């Protein structure tokens, strides 16, 4: 008999669905019944990506459910402000209906909601239905700490009530935490514009009263990665780096089918020889920047594996790209999506050219892979600061006066990262620390057991 029925609710974005799916697999392994709730748009993407693996049955004991997000079919779900606003207004009501329908259909009563902190309006619905609430934060603890201090930053005049920087300066919340520019706050998009000012203010207000709604805040991090943040907020419970299973084979809710051929391609490459390049699910490059990146990889002259989503570069010349692919066919492999956990764990990968999303950051850290940081928006600049300034396990690209990272800059930085023995050694040390945390009496393992015990009550 299951320990209890847990409803899992991520914010509808790939970077949130993936860690929630990893967590769900772990909870199923500990004997819980888990219902994973996606928005309808994401639900269809996840099911589509799972088809080659046999559909939803590949998820084992995880039940999939879906609810509307409140947006029209043709709305732009990359507009985070619009998406956040729609979810805040519409998802709570749909979630209440889902719970009622599930229980009317004979499913066990839901005991807990493990919800994304960004979906906190749903916490009040859970309380109303007699469901206990645990909050899961999918970014760094440092990012959450900055969010928690947003009101204070407004009072101090660093930012205004809409989230814009009032003074362009760098600040640090506490010793050991990453320094962050006021123009690179975690609620800013790629142009430095707040992600929907009303949505940002709502987030601040929600986070301030979360203590009365959620009994615990868990995060996909580990003690040694964020010493300063956990000292500042000891109530945050780090349970990462999360993995769904040791073999890294269980599906983790990807929106695009994984191209498994790349693992076999890596098998044929020498140890620590391949430059892995991936920018997550949201980044968009204009044609000029895309071409500089492509030619930079070609210029570097090293084997590379590059993830190019179908929507990665708007307006790119197809004939130019076809010609490029032909030129690099003997050196590089280009895929539309890949099993990133397996790729980063592969002996052939030498460095990771990354947007520095927190999932990618934790996966890279857990495998001791040096980084070349190329952040795009929101919390990714905090993660870059961790990698380059706090952990010192990588370098960052530097755009020119036009905001372009040139091919020469990319080649130069790839060579610097690959040639830096100190970076490699620190990456190895952090890998060892992260793996100790999730084993036996490691801090993340013990925290996870505390979390399981709480959910078992």
164-181 confidence digits (pLDDT tens): 888 889 999 999 999 999
Task: Find residue 33's DSSP bridge partners.
Answer: 5
Per-residue pLDDT band for 388 (boundaries 50, 70, 90) equals: very high
pLDDT at 43: 95
For the sheet with 304-307, list strands across it. Answer: 332-335, 304-307, 274-278, 349-354, 371-373, 394-396
Q: What is the dihedral of CA 291, 254, 191, 75, to 10 degrees?
A: 110
Architecture label for domain 5-247+440-455: 3-Layer(aba) Sandwich (3.40)
Question: For residue 433, which of 149, 207, 225 has the smallest C-alpha distance?
Answer: 225
Q: What are 285-332's pLDDT values in tens digits?
A: 999 999 999 999 999 999 999 999 999 998 999 999 999 999 999 999
Mean residue pLDDT of the chain comes to 93
**Bridge partner residues of 274 (DSSP):** 349
DSSP assignment, residue 107?
P
pLDDT digits (tens, 9 = 90+) for 90-142: 999 999 999 999 999 999 999 999 999 999 889 999 999 999 999 999 999 99
The pair of structure tokens assigned to 228 is 């300063």
- Find the mean pLDDT for residues 80-86: 83
* Segment 410-423, tens digit of pLDDT: 999 999 999 999 99
Does residue 200 carry a pLDDT above 70? no
In this prediction, residue 210 carries a pLDDT of 73
pLDDT tens figures, 29-52: 999 999 999 999 999 999 999 988
How many helices (DSSP H) and strands (DSSP E) are in the chain? 17, 15
What letter does residue 350 receive in the DSSP assignment? E
> 166 near 158, Cβ under 8 Å?
yes
Report the range of poorest mean pLDDT among 63-72, 86-95, 155-164, 228-237: 155-164
What's residue 197's pLDDT?
63
Is 90 exceeded by the pLDDT of residue 343? yes
Chain region(s) in the chain for CATH 3.40.50.2000: 5-247+440-455, 261-434
pLDDT at 196 over 70: no
The residue assigned the tokens 């009072």 is 155
On the 0-12 / 13-18 / 19+ scale of CB atoms within 10 A, 305 is buried
- DSSP string computed for 179-203: PEEGGG-TTB-TTS-BS-HHHHHHH
Question: How many Å apart are CA 231 and CA 236, to the nearest integer?
Answer: 9
What integer pLDDT is reported at residue 80 of this predicted model? 79
Per-residue confidence (pLDDT) for residue 198, from 0 to 100: 64
pLDDT at 81 over 80: no
Give the other-Cβ count within 10 Å of 127's Cβ: 15
CATH topology of domain 261-434: Rossmann fold (3.40.50)
pLDDT at residue 209 tops 90: no
Residue 283 has pLDDT above 80, yes or no: yes
Q: Do residues 310 and 336 make contact, with C-beta atoms less than 8 angstroms apart?
A: yes
pLDDT at position 208 is 66
For residue 201, the model assigns a pLDDT of: 63
The answer to whether the CB of 23 falls within 8 A of the CB of 98 is: no
User: How far apart, in Å, are the Cα atoms of 65 and each of 33, 294, 375?
Assistant: 13, 40, 33
* For range 232-259, the mean pLDDT: 94
**What does the pLDDT average to over 372-377?**
95
């Amino acid at each position: 008999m299951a320990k209890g029925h847990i409803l899992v609710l991520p914010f509808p974005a790939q970077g949130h669905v993936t860690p929630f799916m990893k967590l769900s697999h772990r909870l199923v392994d500990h004997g819980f019944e888990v219902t994973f709730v996606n928005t309808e748009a994401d639900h269809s993407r996840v099911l589509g990506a799972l088809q080659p693996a046999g559909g939803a049955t590949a998820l084992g004991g995880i039940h999939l459910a879906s609810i509307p997000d409140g947006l029209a079919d043709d709305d732009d779900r990359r507009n985070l402000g619009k998406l956040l606003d729609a979810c805040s207004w519409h998802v709570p009501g749909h979630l209440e209906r889902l719970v009622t329908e599930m229980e009317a259909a004979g499913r066990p009563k839901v005991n807990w909601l493990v919800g994304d902190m960004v979906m906190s309006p749903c916490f009040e619905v859970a309380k109303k239905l007699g469901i206990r609430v645990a909050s899961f934060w999918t970014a760094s603890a440092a990012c959450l700490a900055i969010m928690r201090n947003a009101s204070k930053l407004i009072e101090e005049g660093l930012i205004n009530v809409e989230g814009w920087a009032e003074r362009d300066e760098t600040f640090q919340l506490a010793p050991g935490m990453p320094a962050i520019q006021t123009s690179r706050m975690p609620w800013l998009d790629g142009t430095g514009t707040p992600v929907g000012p009303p949505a940002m203010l709502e987030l601040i207000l929600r986070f301030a009263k979360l203590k009365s709604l959620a009994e615990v805040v868990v995060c996909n991090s580990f003690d040694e990665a964020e010493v300063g943040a956990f000292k500042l907020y000891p109530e945050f419970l780090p349970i990462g780096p999360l993995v769904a299973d040791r073999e890294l084979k269980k599906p983790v809710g990807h929106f695009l089918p994984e191209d498994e051929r790349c693992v076999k391609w890596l098998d044929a490459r020498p140890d620590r020889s391949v430059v892995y390049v991936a920018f997550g699910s949201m980044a968009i490059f204009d044609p000029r920047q895309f071409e500089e990146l492509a030619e930079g990889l070609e210029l570097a002259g090293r084997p590379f594996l590059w993830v190019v989503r179908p929507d990665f570069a708007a307006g790119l010349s197809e004939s130019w790209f076809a010609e490029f692919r032909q030129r690099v066919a003997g050196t590089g492999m280009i895929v539309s999506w890949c099993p990133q956990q397996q790729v980063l764990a592969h002996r052939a990968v030498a460095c990771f050219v990354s947007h520095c999303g927190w999932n990618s950051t934790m996966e890279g850290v857990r495998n001791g892979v040096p980084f070349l940081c190329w952040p795009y928006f929101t919390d990714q600049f905090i993660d870059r600061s961790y990698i380059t300034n706090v952990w010192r396990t990588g370098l960052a690209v530097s755009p020119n006066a036009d905001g372009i990272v040139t091919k020469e800059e990319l080649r130069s930085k790839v060579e610097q990262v690959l040639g830096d023995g100190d970076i490699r050694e620190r990456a190895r040390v952090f890998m060892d620390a992260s793996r100790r945390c999730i084993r036996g009496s490691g801090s993340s393992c013990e925290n996870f057991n505390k979390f399981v015990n709480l959910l078992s009550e």
